[in-house]
Structure 1
Amino acid sequence: MEELTIRTPADVLSFVGHTLGFWPRESLVCITLSDKHVGATLRVDLPKPGTEISYAQTVAGYLAHDTNAESVLFAVYTSQDEQAGPVKPQATTIAALTGALAERGLSIRDGLLVGNERVSQYDGSPGEGRSIPLTATQSSQINAEFIYRGSTIEPTNRITLPASTKETETTDAVRDRVKALGGLKVGEALEQARARWMDMLDAHSYPDREEIVNLIADLQFPVIRDRLMADIPGIDERMDRILLAQTHDKPQWSRVEWAQQLLLHAYTDSSTKHSAPILTAVGFINWWEGRGSKAHQFLQLALEADPAYHLAKVSDIMIGSGVVAGWNMDKGTAYRNPGLSA
């Protein structure tokens, strides 16, 4: 694919939107740059007052994992952009970030202030007339190219689950299948479950009802659930390293995306009592792909289905503490939106 060139603020915002898959709100977005080439993209919620220094150190630490980075471009997305006065929104945060990056040998190349209706240079004066309407992103060359490649920007980062029949006729079938699996030796049950799962991952169409019932039932057993989740990326390494995204090999991201579609398809046929493992697995996939906010949402939905579901609890604590999937620390293994493959 042809290499793309970012020339204007509208191009930058289009790039950010398509990279994240949604339009940020009350966020700080940072992009690492090396020899005029884009590296990693990081989005985090804006800090709470009084936490700016520790927040900046954390952000700088994440950005420094891009060992090729030379400088950083940032964008502050906030509804406070039209406030009167000389002090810019999040001025303390940006000052702290400048210092934290300098400690790591990085400088800030440029910054943008993105409001509800307009975007301007962060260091620019409101009277200089250098702001442009956000609608300019719709006609930017970058936006047009990404849309052509099949990429879209959602208005928010809120997840939308497919319609679920919830208490369906599959409830009894899953219950019976769980009972049958419980009568097998662990090794035998695991072998059968993995064979079924591999067939689904290798297929090019959604499974039939019986296969879906089997998948939902398989995921009810923690030992099987963990193994099936570890089989998703298609990596032959230790299971714990795969689940925590700390492998040497790159995941097969198209396989990961298909696994998420299969799991969401299974969710539509699962009852509430059986849906927590499915939603937890989807949460892990989103974390692997660098979508911590969406991962948190899926884990919260899993806990709504089963407040005592242990894996969802501990995983949400891990993600909430700021742990980033190891694959996203290296642009050679990090997930990229298919529309951004160039």
Structure 2
Amino acid sequence: MDTTPLDPEPAPPPDPFKAKQAQDILGYIPHALGFVPAESAVLISLTGRRLGATLRLDLPRHRDADTLTGFADAAAGYLRRHRAADSSLLVIYTAAGWDGTPPAYAVLAHHLLAGLARAGLPVRDGWVVGPRHWRGLYCTDPQCCPDPGHSTDRIAESVLNAEMIYRGSQVAASPEAALGLPEAVPGWDRERLRTGVAEFAGNFTGNWTHPDTFRRTLGCWEREVTGGGLPEQDMAAFLLASLECTGVRDALVVQVCLGFDAAYGGALGSGLLTAPRPGTGFPAGTGTGLPEWEPDRSPGEYGSGFARILTGSTASPPDWGRVDAAAKLLASLYTAAEATPRAACGTILAWLEWARARGSRAQSMVDAVLGECADYRLAVLIHGLLASGVLPEWSFDPDTAWPGTAPRAA
């Protein structure tokens, strides 16, 4: 069963757009996902007449009955996690099998319809979309669905698609393009940055996990994550050098999601802070004082929370504003970085996409990391996580899932 990449989107806010026709719904889906699906099954939950969660899965490679049944049940199970839903819509995106009788996609659709019905989410309507045409899944009326179907231009010309574009929503051509990584970072000299990273790494090797050094390092990250802009070049070099330490890297993920207290306390409670000597030679402007920290939980509680956020095994969500800000910062650092710091930035970006339940983008990012650094351990683990179809617990509740940036439709 191939259930990845997987992309659920949260339910719409109270004042969504109106989807009145099939082409409105088909125009909405790329905005909900951020890219144009290909060879995908897209399921949308409904609560009454309101569109809810949007779920995208790669079409299964094998089409035997057992595989298709398993695929359909898994897809329905994911959509069923939207507890308020009472029915669904189904869209299959494929360039293959339009000219058979019945067409090849009909067998897959049959299994999906049955799986959704078993899950209590009967399909109210469905469509198939190809490169140039779209039609109702089971429409045989030539007046409604002439062979081979309606032009996809009608989707692009839909009122809802035009309204979303007017409101600022953008659709990328692929998950890779949807990552939005910058091609270069203005004001940063690559050679100077490389030299700076090497110098900081040399100064701090073996000392990153001293408690005082760790606190100051997380303090530097905190200022840049919350600062809203790009760091000075020396600070960028220091941040990149710090990612050569896996303890800093993992704590940064927790810090982005939950703040400094959870990150430092979790690292301490997990036994990561073991270096015997503090590091020296912090970048200019960081000050000499340590970030204040007064624990309000036991080391064990901090360590447990640290682990739960990294594995997504908690219903308590990250701070989504911090996640979005950190993703922008890390995208710039990734573009400018090399070697291990680049792999670390890319892997954290992949994790943040997974946390936001954007599996296709997470897969694209982790594939890029592994293409350059095939044995980067955390990237290998995230690749396995994506392959299993596991999603963080918070992504299945509209109240805790990432709210997204695109407008919503109903």
TM range (shorter): over 0.9
Q: Which has the larger radius of gyration?
A: 2
Deviation at 1:139, TM superposition (A): 2.4
Deviation at 1:337, TM superposition (A): 2.6
1:157 to 175, 188, 199: 175
In structure 2, what is the equivalent of residue 80 of structure 1?
A: 96
Assess, with a 3 A threshold, how the Cα gap between structure 1 residues 307 and 82 changes in structure 2: closer, same or farther.
closer
Aligned mates of 1:304, 1:106 — CA distance in 2: 40
More moved, 294-303 vs 243-252: 243-252
Matched, 1:201 2:235: no
TM-score of the superposed pair, with normalisation by structure 2: 0.78
SS state at 1:144 partner: helix
More moved, 73-82 vs 107-116: 73-82
More moved, 74-83 vs 242-251: 242-251
Deviations 1:135-154 (A, max 9, x none): 12222221122112211111
Deviations 1:25-56 (A, max 9, x none): 11100000011111111001111222211111
In structure 2, what is the equivalent of residue 268 of structure 1?
A: 335
Report % sequence identity. 28
More moved, 91-100 vs 231-240: 231-240
Aligned mates of 1:199, 1:206 — CA distance in 2: 11
Matched, 1:25 2:25: no
Aligned mates of 1:174, 1:142 — CA distance in 2: 48
Aligned mates of 2:380, 2:17 — CA distance in 1: 41
In structure 2, what is the equivalent of residue 337 of structure 1?
A: 404
Deviation at 1:178, TM superposition (A): 1.6
Deviations 1:238-290 (A, max 9, x none): 12222223334333323211111101111222123431101000000111111
8 Å contact from structure 1 (residues 72, 109) kept in 2: yes
Following TM superposition, the consecutive aligned residue runs of length 4 or more in structure 1 with deviations greater than 4 angstroms are 164-167
Deviation at 1:126, TM superposition (A): 6.4
2:253 to 226, 229, 233: 229
Assess, with a 3 A threshold, how the Cα gap between structure 1 residues 242 and 5 changes in structure 2: closer, same or farther.
same
TM-score of the superposed pair, with normalisation by structure 1: 0.93
SS state at 2:357 partner: coil
SS state at 1:72 partner: strand
CA RMSD of aligned residues (A): 2.1
Deviation at 1:82, TM superposition (A): 3.4
8 Å contact from structure 1 (residues 19, 336) kept in 2: no
2:151 to 133, 143, 153: 133
SS state at 2:406 partner: helix
Q: How many residues align?
A: 341
Aligned mates of 1:320, 1:80 — CA distance in 2: 24
Aligned mates of 2:52, 2:15 — CA distance in 1: 17
Q: What is the identity, as a one-letter code, of the residue corresponding to 1:82?
A: W
SS state at 1:308 partner: coil
Aligned mates of 1:336, 1:28 — CA distance in 2: 22
8 Å contact from structure 1 (residues 164, 270) kept in 2: no
In structure 1, what is the equivalent of residue 314 of structure 2?
A: 247
Gaps of 5+ in 2: 1-13, 263-301
Report 1 or 2 for greater relative contact order, CA contacts < 8 Å, sequence distance ≥ 6. 2
Q: What is the identity, as a one-letter code, of the residue corresponding to 2:236?
A: I
In structure 1, what is the equivalent of residue 365 of structure 2?
A: 298
Deviation at 1:335, TM superposition (A): 1.8
